[in-house]
Amino acid sequence: MKKVTIDPITRLEGHGRIEIFLDEAGNVANAYLQIPELRGFEKFCEGRPVEELPRITPRICGVCPEAHHLASTKAADAVYHVDAPPREEAPL
Amino acid sequence: MPKLKLALYWAASCGGCDVAVLDINEKILDVAALADIVLWPIAMDFKYHHVEAMDDKSIDVCLFNGAVRNSEQEEIAKLLRAKSKIMVAFGACACFGGIPALAYVEAPTNDNPERTFPQTQTKVKEGELELPEFFDTVHALNQVVGVEYYLPGCPPPVELILKVVDALATGQLPPVGSVIASDKALCDECLRTKEEKRITKIYRPHQIIPDPQRCFLEQGLICLGPATRGGCGQRCIKANMPCRGCFGPPPGVVDQGAKMLSAVASIYDVSDEEGIIRMVEEIVDPAGTFYRFAMSTSLLERKRT
Amino acid sequence: MDDFEPKIVGFLCNWCSYAGADLAGTSRMKYAPNVRVVRVMCSGRMDPTFVLKAFQRGADGVLICGCHPGDCHYMEGNYKTARRISLLKRMLAQLGIEDERLRLEWVSASEGERFARIVDDMTKQIKELGPFAKQKVSGGQHAKA
């Protein structure tokens, strides 16, 4: 089967490649999205102190680091059973 | 003056270094005036075959971010090295391995009893799919290809990125092998009061509210300042958070983690067995803390398998 | 691995441990020949970087000997060593390096016999553990085993 490859996919965050298989008539038989990268955050975050995660997880994505930072901060708050202080009381 | 050819590429990265380039805001127009960008996956639709078609050394500068940990990233690093006059290791991952190199530190559950690994060839109904070979090594860029300049940081600060742009615009390049940052440790530019470094307890950052004027280490909070190159504008310190070493080791230091470990053990003032056991227990994750960003270029380079 | 002979680098402090090792020699004691001795003025000179460098350069084990607590020629050097090496062992464990490969002992100038026994013991332990060099790694053409 004829194969059309788009490598790399662009203008988004992340690595990707698309393989499109065409049948004899030239129509798309199937298309596959492949992700040729793996860094392993799910594993190497294990064993790290929970209060360090808000400084590690933002490196999952440089376009949306705030989302990861907030998610891990909220998770740490939940682990320690605390609520964020009201804004007026924040030390900074 | 003909426009320079500029390539930006990412390997095992998060995209933050590419976003940092955009953080130079309106100065990106100066870059556009100065250079034609011939590869930049996050922003432009050039493909690998475009790069393969270029002449060797036709790209003036390649800003390469991200660590190298699969065969495709290694291949593209080599391709770009062949096509580029100057390679810049851009960001902590390309310079030292960065956060992805934390993969070396043993996680509590690294078991993989069925040996599930990404496969390089997969048969599907229509044909065959290929994936790059996944390495269990996380390389810094200079462990795979030759590198002319290093721009550390996670991400590199705007001021230093502009220094690079400036050097390219004026043609006044620093000596090959330079790290585009300060030549001193972070402590030199840190504005906190430093008195005597002698502690008897180490706190985890959430256990105390740090005094914003005093050195973190003197308050019992681990700060990698002494073992980290300066030049970042002490941005974390100003936010009342201790340094975690994203600028890598200072000049003259090869192994950032070992040096920082030595510094912390030196200032912790106990001499009895009990005290030493207590100290080791208070430092909950030495490998993950002292080698947060620079495991790949440490002397051990990787964990034992 | 019957023919594996461990390479152990020994950092011995000038005032106590090196003298103790010397005594083992002048007394014609027989003990394992696997330790290569580097004399340092004080065990406190031991930068953890030296330990890592030894492993990087092919050592299977590192032995550090200093004066007994309270006897350091420079007063506090050996306390610093104790702190640094304890923390280093903890960090190396996180990187898959067995505890037995890095050993810290206090050896006085009169303890020649003790030094010999320490070397015999450590050589035996490392023989059982095997060489330090990693087995199989994948990293493309640039992986270091």
Given a contact as 3+ CB pairs under 8 Å, which chains touch A?
Answer: B
Calculate mean pLDDT across residues A15-21.
95
In chain B, the percentage of residues whose pLDDT exceeds 90 is 86
- Which residue of chain A is at minimal alpha-carbon distance from B130? A34
Domains contained in chain B, CATH given:
4-102+137-170 (3.40.50.700), 186-290 (no CATH)
C-alpha angle with apex B195: B189 to B197, nearest 5 degrees?
95
Distance in angstroms (rounded) separating the CA atoms of residues B223 and B205: 10
Distance in angstroms (rounded) separating the CA atoms of residues B148 and B50: 24
Residue B285 has pLDDT above 60, yes or no: yes
| Residue B157 tokens, joined | 């600060």
Count of pairs with CB atoms under 8 A, one residue in A, one in B: 128
Chain-chain contact of C134 with B265 (C-beta, under 8 angstroms): no
pLDDT at B305: 62
Distance in angstroms (rounded) separating the CA atoms of residues A59 and A66: 10
Which of A7, A15, A23, A66 should one mutate to test binding to chain B, selecting the residue with the greatest count of B CBs within 10 A?
A: A15
Does A52 touch chain B if contact means CB atoms closer than 8 Å?
Answer: yes
Q: pLDDT tens digits for C73-96?
A: 999 999 999 999 999 999 999 998
Q: Which of C60, C48, C92 is nearest to B104 (CA)?
A: C92
pLDDT at B250: 97
β-strand partners of B68: B139
Chain-chain contact of B261 with C84 (C-beta, under 8 angstroms): yes
CA-to-CA dists, residue B27 to B40, B70, B235, B299, C66, angstroms:
17, 34, 21, 39, 59
Q: pLDDT tens digits for A45-59?
A: 998 999 999 999 999
Calculate mean pLDDT across residues C91-117.
95
Is the distance from CB of C105 to CB of C16 less than 8 angstroms?
Answer: no
Chain-chain contact of B299 with C55 (C-beta, under 8 angstroms): yes
C-beta pairs of A8-13 under 8 Å, 24+ apart in sequence: A8/B41, A8/B47, A8/B48, A9/B41, A10/B41, A10/B42, A10/B43, A10/B44, A10/B45, A10/B46, A10/B47, A11/B41, A11/B42, A11/B43, A11/B44, A11/B45, A12/B42, A13/A61, A13/A62, A13/A63, A13/A64, A13/B14, A13/B15, A13/B42
Chain C residue numbers touching B144 (CB-CB < 8 A): 140, 142
Residue C20 has pLDDT above 90, yes or no: yes
Distance in angstroms (rounded) separating the CA atoms of residues C58 and C8: 9
Residue A15 has pLDDT above 50, yes or no: yes
Which of A19, A41, A59 should one mutate to test binding to chain B, selecting the residue with the greatest count of B CBs within 10 A?
A: A59
Distance in angstroms (rounded) separating the CA atoms of residues B2 and B34: 8
Residue type, B44: M
Given a contact as 3+ CB pairs under 8 Å, which chains touch B?
Answer: A, C
Sign of CA dihedral B261, B266, B270, B272: positive
- Residue B301's SS3 state is coil
Q: pLDDT tens digits for B46-73?
A: 999 999 999 999 999 999 999 999 999 9
| Residue A60 tokens, joined | 């999952």
pLDDT at A84: 82
Is the distance from CB of C67 to CB of C43 less than 8 angstroms?
Answer: yes
Chain B residue numbers touching A65 (CB-CB < 8 A): 14, 16
Sorted by where each begins, the domain ranges of chain A are 2-34, 41-81
Chain-centre distance for alpha carbon B243: 14
Distance in angstroms (rounded) separating the CA atoms of residues B18 and A13: 10
How far does A61 lie from chain B, in Å, by closest CA? 4
Is the distance from CB of B99 to CB of A48 less than 8 angstroms?
Answer: no
Does A74 touch chain B if contact means CB atoms closer than 8 Å?
Answer: no
Q: What ipTM does this complex have?
A: 0.92
- Residue B12's SS3 state is strand
CA-to-CA dists, residue B252 to B64, B131, B185, C40, C111, angstroms:
24, 40, 10, 21, 38
CA-to-CA dists, residue B216 to B178, C115, C119, angstroms:
29, 41, 42
Residue C2 has pLDDT above 80, yes or no: no
CA-to-CA dists, residue B113 to B109, B116, C94, angstroms:
11, 8, 20
- Which residue of chain C is at minimal alpha-carbon distance from B283? C87
Chain-chain contact of B271 with C97 (C-beta, under 8 angstroms): no
Residue type, A9: I
Sign of CA dihedral B70, B76, B77, B78: positive
Calculate mean pLDDT across residues B189-217.
93
Calculate mean pLDDT across residues B286-294.
95
Distance in angstroms (rounded) separating the CA atoms of residues C144 and C135: 10
- Which residue of chain A is at minimal alpha-carbon distance from B135? A38
Chain A residue numbers touching B241 (CB-CB < 8 A): 55
- Which residue of chain B is at minimal alpha-carbon distance from A46? B107
Q: Which of C106, C25, C14, C97 is nearest to C54 (CA)?
A: C97
Q: pLDDT tens digits for B112-170?
A: 788 888 889 999 999 999 999 998 889 999 999 999 999 999 999 999 999 999 999 89
- Of residues C51, C96, C139, nearest to B137 (C-beta): C139
How far does A77 lie from chain B, in Å, by closest CA? 10
**Could you tell me the pTM of the whole model?**
0.93
Residue C144 has pLDDT above 60, yes or no: no
| Residue C73 tokens, joined | 């020629």
pLDDT at C105: 97
How far does C136 lie from chain B, in Å, by closest CA? 7
Chain-chain contact of B205 with A76 (C-beta, under 8 angstroms): no
pLDDT at B48: 94
β pairing state of C61-66 and C8-13: parallel
- Of residues B137, B257, B259, nearest to C143 (C-beta): B137
Distance in angstroms (rounded) separating the CA atoms of residues C132 and C55: 7
- Of residues C82, C84, C144, nearest to B301 (C-beta): C144
- Which of B147 and C1 is assigned the larger pLDDT? B147
Chain B residue numbers touching A80 (CB-CB < 8 A): 206
| Residue B228 tokens, joined | 């980290």
How far does A60 lie from chain B, in Å, by closest CA? 6
CB atoms within 10 A of CB B51: 21
Calculate mean pLDDT across residues C109-128.
97
Q: Which of B166, B180, B151, B157 is nearest to B233 (CA)?
A: B157
Distance in angstroms (rounded) separating the CA atoms of residues C121 and C128: 11
Chain-chain contact of B262 with C47 (C-beta, under 8 angstroms): yes
